[in-house]
A = this chain, B = another copy of it.
Amino acid sequence: MRKYSKQTRILVAVDCIIFGFDGERLKVLLIKRGFEPEKDKWSVMGGFVQPDESPSEAASRVLKVLTGLENIYMEQTEVFGNIDRDPIERTISIGYYAFIEINKYKTQITDLYHAEWIDIKEIPQLIFDHNHMIDVALKKLRYKAALHPILFELLPEKFTVPQIQALYEQVYGSELDKRNFSRKLFSTGLLVKLQEKDKSSSKKGAFFYKLNQDSYKDNFEKFLNFIPNPQALLS
């Protein structure tokens, strides 16, 4: 028995925006769409929500089927619901995003799939409102990274300060003062200096660091400064 019989049902899709860092460049994962309309055009990874799955389950399934990626933690960005955003039929899409270390997932994204990492500076024209979806996801990433040290999750196990700075600069799309940045960075207590140096970019070299895992977990909310003890409040 349907009690809501007078109501209109609508197609619901999910679209996944995956950011990655390869140690040098911030990138986004794109595919060439495999069906009409807009076949062979670049897009983010999308698909329809099925009757037996929640939107987040749909997002995981779509990502796995189209790219091979699995066990990726994705968060919602927002809902894209303009009535004419899909030219074929009205579709409300729920955006999801994640950020990963590219090299860690190299074996999952194989040639079986047609997914490619594209530099954030070189994103082509995408189908529908997908360029806008990436902008919204990037804004979420900026917002979150301003509060939590989440960008460290994009770094390789050992990394240099110039690498972190490059990552922050690409996420925020702006140059950061070197001295100011490293002062703030070290004040977080998140870094452990290693003996080894990276000499690939300069003669003098740059020390490698690793993340202080305990400190990272304990102080996940430490970037916040107005509310005392925000850990308890925002978790």
Contacts and interface: CB of A to CB of B under 8 A. Distances in A.
Nearest to A223: B226
**Main SS of the interface on chain A?**
loop
Contacts of A200: none
A134 B158 CA distance: 42
Interface string A36-64: 11000000000011111111100000000
Given A2-B88, A37-B3, A146-B147, A8 B174 contact: no
Number of this chain's copies in the assembly equals 2
Interface string A86-97: 001111101000
Interface string A216-235: 00000001111111101110
A48 B228 CA distance: 40
A139 B83 contact: no
Interface stretch (A9-17, A98-106, A109-117): A9-17
Interface residues of A, number: 57
Contact of A12 (B10, B37, B78, B145): B10
Interface of A: 2-4, 7-12, 36-37, 48-56, 76, 78-79, 81-83, 88-92, 94, 139, 142-143, 145-147, 168, 172-174, 176-177, 180, 184, 223-230, 232-234
- In order of increasing CB-CB distance, the 3 nearest A-B pairs are A9-B9, A55-B81, A7-B48
